[in-house]
Amino acid sequence: MLFFTQENTRSRKPADALVIPFWQTKDEKIECAHKIDSKLLQRYLTLEDFKAKKGQIHVVFVDDIVEKRAILVGLGKQEECDSEALRMSYSKVILSAISKKHIYLNVLFPKCKKCKPQTVIPACIEGMMLANYLFEYKKPSKDKKLVQKLFLLGISKSYLTKAKEIAKLSESVCFARDLVNSNAEVVNSDYLAKVAKDLGKLPKVKTTILEKAQIKKENMGLFLAVNQGSKFPPYLLIVEYKGNPKSKDVTVLVGKGVTYDTGGLSIKTSTGMVEMKLDMSGAASVLGTIRALCHLKSKRNVIAVVATTDNAIGPNSYRPGDVYTGCNGKTVEVTNTDAEGRLTLADAIAYSCKKLNPTRIINIATLTGSMVIALGEYIAGVMGNDDKLIQKLLNASKTTHERLWALPLPSDYLEDLKSDIADLKNSASRWGSGLKAGLFLKEFVDPKVKWAHIDIAGPAFIPKRMGYVPKGGTGFGVRLLVELIQSL
- Residue numbers annotated as active site: 268, 342
Give the span between the Cα atoms of 2 and 163, in whole angstroms. Answer: 10
Give the span between the Cα atoms of 487 and 251, in whole angstroms. Answer: 12
Return the C-alpha torsion angle 297, 352, 218, 241, nearest 10. Answer: 0
Residues in the chain: 488
Q: Nearest 5°: CA angle at 480, between 328 and 252?
A: 25
Side by side, the strands of the sheet bearing 205-210 are 205-210, 235-242, 301-311, 251-261, 360-365, 450-455, 380-384, 404-406
Give the span between the Cα atoms of 108 and 442, in whole angstroms. Answer: 49
Give the span between the Cα atoms of 279 and 258, in whole angstroms. Answer: 5
Direct distance between the N- and C-terminal alpha carbons of the chain, in angstroms, rounded to an integer: 30
Give the span between the Cα atoms of 307 and 327, in whole angstroms. Answer: 12
Number of Cβ within 10 Å of residue 269's Cβ equals 8
Q: How far is CA 187 from the centre of its chain?
A: 17
Taking a C-beta distance cutoff of 8 angstroms, is the pair 297, 241 a contact? no
**Strand bridging mode 450-455 / 360-365:** parallel
* Amino acid at the residue 47: L
The secondary structure of residue 466, as a DSSP letter, is B
Give the span between the Cα atoms of 230 and 33, in whole angstroms. Answer: 57
Give the span between the Cα atoms of 371 and 430, in whole angstroms. Answer: 11
Where would I find the H helices in 200-269?
212-217, 221-227
Taking a C-beta distance cutoff of 8 angstroms, is the pair 390, 298 a contact? no
* Amino acid at the residue 52: A
Taking a C-beta distance cutoff of 8 angstroms, is the pair 115, 152 a contact? no
